[in-house]
A and B are shown apart, each in its own frame.
Chain A
Amino acid sequence: MINKDKMLFALIMGCAYALIGVVQTVTGISKALSEACGTVYQEHLIADTLFIPADIIAGLILILIGSVFLYGVSEIRAGVREGIAYVYVGIILSLIFGGIYVLAATGELLEIHLLKNAEYTGWTLLDTLRPEIYMGMLSLLTYLKWKDSFEVGEG
């Protein structure tokens, strides 16, 4: 039963990470191409709504995290009890990358409020928001709920 909950969670997170990652990578590529061709880059509606930046590498990493979750789903579905390990590591990766961007946002806030850096004029908290942060928050909540239940017993 517990594994069923975790499998469902991993399925949702895996798909979300993979989809957002694809959007992030594709927008990253289209932005790079626009810059190379000297044309104006048009922001995509989905990317804009979900605070997805145009960032190829970060997008590939989101796809990787999604793959870890989905690999876990496939193992659990196949009856491999250790598949739960992929859900656990998927959450940890999600927390690590969420943490990285929270710290990066802290750096930007220091630039705005402490150093009054002109480069950041008009910058708001929403400008620092990106999928790694809000997806990481979801993982944090889940981790706090399930942290003691990630074990694979002898069975």
Chain B
Amino acid sequence: MENRKIRVALAGNPNVGKTTLFNTITGSRQHVGNWPGVTVEKKTGVRTYRGYEIEITDLPGTYSLTAYSMDEIVARDYIIEEKPDIVIQIVDASNLERNLYLTTQLMELETEMIIALNMCDLALERGDKLYINKMQEILAAPVVQTVASKGIGINELLDRVIEQKHDEKYHGREIGYGDLIESKVLEIEKVLLTDPELIKKYPMRWMSIRLLEGDSNVRAKIEKSAAAEAINELLASIDQEEYEAEIADKRYVAINAIFPQICTRCNVRLTKSDMIDRVLTNKYLGIPIFLALMWGAFELTFAFATPFTDMIERAFVWLAVNVSSGLEPEWLASLLGDGIIGGVGAVLTFVPNIFILFFLLSLLEGSGYLARAAFIMDRLMYKIGMHGKSFIPLLMGFGCNVPAIMATRSIEDEKDRLITLLVVPFVSCGARLPIYILLAGAFFGRQAGTVVFFMYILGIVIAVISAKLLRTTIVKGRPAPFIMEMPPYRVPTLRASVVHMWDNGAMYIKKAGTVILLGVVIIWSLASFPWGIEYGSEESYVGMLGHLFAPLLEPLGFDWRMTVALVFGLVAKEIVVASMGVLYGVGDNPEALTASLVADPSVTALSALSLMVFSLLYMPCVATLGVIKKETGSWKWTAFALAYGVAVAWMMAFLVYQGGRLLGY
């Protein structure tokens, strides 16, 4: 039976369609978790094919297998230590040359390898001619042409997996590094071979090459070995940087020799993807086009979602009226109407906006545009002291700050990473969107979409200014340079976009049924007690709580209700809206929360704007603070993120409110 089980690892550069291939093969039989000890995502899935159970592990996307990032270490450790039966390298056929660098490194790991030549359609459309047989011969591995997004070549790939498991038709090839390096490799190998434990666990030639390249992670692996001392002596006698450069150079020499034999371009011409790139990465037009597209996304999020939010709002009003009217005891009617339906309903009303925004962002990501956005912003990012790679976590922060902070692990330099991690919470996540939609919709009419767009821009601007401030004060230094590959433009598939939208949006619905529900019950309780007072009045516990904090927030234009909403919003930002739903008692009120806010004389357009600014900046939610602590391993930096956020939020909201009043608003 064991013989019918095959363990496969998917390796490849970022943006080569690895995850699409993984999804196409495994369908819904997936498990998502973390790699042991780190927060890099681990995806595994199973596919039964021709009576074989094929277990597939999606390794992190990497350009090489050095030890410069956690992704690279995780990927190669899995191949070496877990020893999968087959490693499939997904290669972007339209970017073959660059992908071959990883191939040369995988070859050294002495593993059974298959090459999936993905996105062949794009390469062929461009006029490339690929010589598959020659490629198999030179790389000594089966090569299968695939188009993962259309499911083309998948069965053939699985057939090759089964064949390769039983019939080791191909035998490994190695890159030659020249006499000088090869003699050193042999010397190190000789010493390593004195330790039987190392022989069992690692490919000796690979280990020798990595040691010559000065790989600290590999050095740590031999630290306890009896061979360690001799190896250290040997390495101390050479200039490792020089060897590292020479080894990389030899790999490129090999690639330059291989490439013309396996691919020829019969027609050099600009594809549509190249044409789009020429304009979208233009020095003058690139950033304005990026901003215009983002504005368009928010405009549409607002305009197209309105009828759907209205429908949900009406449904909740109907529900509240029918559930709570005539229900006994009175407190239960109030709990259901004012508390649960009013609070949770206020949050769920914005589900269409959230889903539309995530859908549009996934379209931009799926098309390959967001990778360009990082490229366009790189120069600006470098100027303000941030690493170019930081833009990706910042963009991810639009969805949720928690995975965005985890994504900073791909930034190698610790200082670059710390700065990015500390400023990500200023990027407006999906949880803050309901606050903007509620207040902008109530007070800014047809300009609501623009106001929401500027909230997102403000978040980015504050993040950028904070990064500059940190770089010039606490975390001094220069950001490291970065190389980023730009995938070809693709028409995003509806399925992938919907799945991405659902992954992000479902989290929001789940929160409404858990933490937000709990929050509204607590707020309702505080608004109802002590017994005998008017619900949600200033005499209630919630009123007392509001008045306790009100002096701090009064200069920002907030009344006690807003103050309470902000206090509870510390747990999760959606609770700000849910709290207002509870405190304004809209559950059994035919008029919706929007109308109640507009009718409240203590809430003006200016205080609403100030509230939006404060909510954007004031503090990461509890989950984000938790992940900051985990990633920095420091309470000091966690406390800094919290205190800095509150201080910036207070100052900005003060400027907006008091500045607006001075201008006569």
For B269, list chain A residues within 8 Å (CB): 151-154
Contact between B300 and A114, CB atoms less than 8 A apart: no
A63 to B423, CA, bound (A): 33
A78 to B294, CA, bound (A): 32
Interface bin, chain B: 20 to 34
Given contacts A84-B275, A97-B296, A107-B306, contact A68 B268 (CB under 8 A): no
Q: How many residues of A contact B (CB 8 A)?
A: 33
Taking the nearest CB of chain A, how far is it from the CB of B307, in angstroms?
4
Contact between A64 and B279, CB atoms less than 8 A apart: no
Contact between B299 and A104, CB atoms less than 8 A apart: yes
- Chain B, 266-315, CB within 8 A of any chain A CB: 267-272, 274-276, 278-280, 282, 285, 288-289, 292-293, 295-296, 299-300, 303-307, 310-311, 314
Residue of B nearest to A56 (CB): B450
- Chain A, 82-139, CB within 8 A of any chain B CB: 82, 84-86, 88-89, 92-93, 96-97, 100, 103-104, 106-108, 110-111, 114-115, 117
A85 to B255, CA, bound (A): 32
For A64, list chain B residues within 8 Å (CB): 285, 288-289, 292
Q: Give the total number of A-B pairs whose CB atoms are below 8 A apart.
A: 86
A2 to B304, CA, bound (A): 38
A84 to B275, CA, bound (A): 8
Taking the nearest CB of chain B, how far is it from the CB of A58, in angstroms?
8
Specify the main secondary structure of chain B where it touches its partner: helix
Residue of B nearest to A104 (CB): B303
Contact between A89 and B311, CB atoms less than 8 A apart: no
For B453, list chain A residues within 8 Å (CB): 57
A107 to B307, CA, bound (A): 6
For A107, list chain B residues within 8 Å (CB): 303-307
Contact between B279 and A111, CB atoms less than 8 A apart: no
Q: Does A25 contact B (CB under 8 A)?
A: no
Contact between B293 and A96, CB atoms less than 8 A apart: yes
A86 to B276, CA, bound (A): 8
Residue of A nearest to B300 (CB): A100
Q: Does A17 contact B (CB under 8 A)?
A: no
A86 to B280, CA, bound (A): 9
A107 to B356, CA, bound (A): 13
Taking the nearest CB of chain B, how far is it from the CB of A148, in angstroms?
10
A117 to B304, CA, bound (A): 15
A100 to B293, CA, bound (A): 10
Contact between A85 and B279, CB atoms less than 8 A apart: yes
For B314, list chain A residues within 8 Å (CB): 115
A21 to B274, CA, bound (A): 28
Contact between B311 and A150, CB atoms less than 8 A apart: no
A71 to B280, CA, bound (A): 13
Contact between B275 and A85, CB atoms less than 8 A apart: yes
A154 to B300, CA, bound (A): 40
| Chain B residues at the A interface, C-beta cutoff of 8 Å | 267-272, 274-276, 278-280, 282, 285, 288-289, 292-293, 295-296, 299-300, 303-307, 310-311, 314, 450, 453
Name 30 interchain pairs, CB-CB below 8 A, sorted by A: A57-B295, A57-B453, A58-B299, A64-B288, A64-B292, A71-B282, A71-B285, A85-B276, A85-B278, A85-B279, A86-B279, A88-B272, A97-B296, A100-B303, A103-B303, A103-B304, A104-B299, A104-B300, A104-B304, A106-B304, A107-B306, A111-B306, A115-B310, A115-B311, A115-B314, A151-B270, A152-B269, A152-B270, A153-B267, A153-B269
For the complex with contacts A57-B450, A111-B310, A153-B267, 4 further pairs of A-B residues with Cβ separation under 8 Å are A71-B285, A107-B304, A115-B307, A152-B275
* Pairs A-B, 7 closest by C-beta atoms: A104-B303, A85-B275, A110-B307, A89-B279, A152-B270, A85-B278, A107-B304
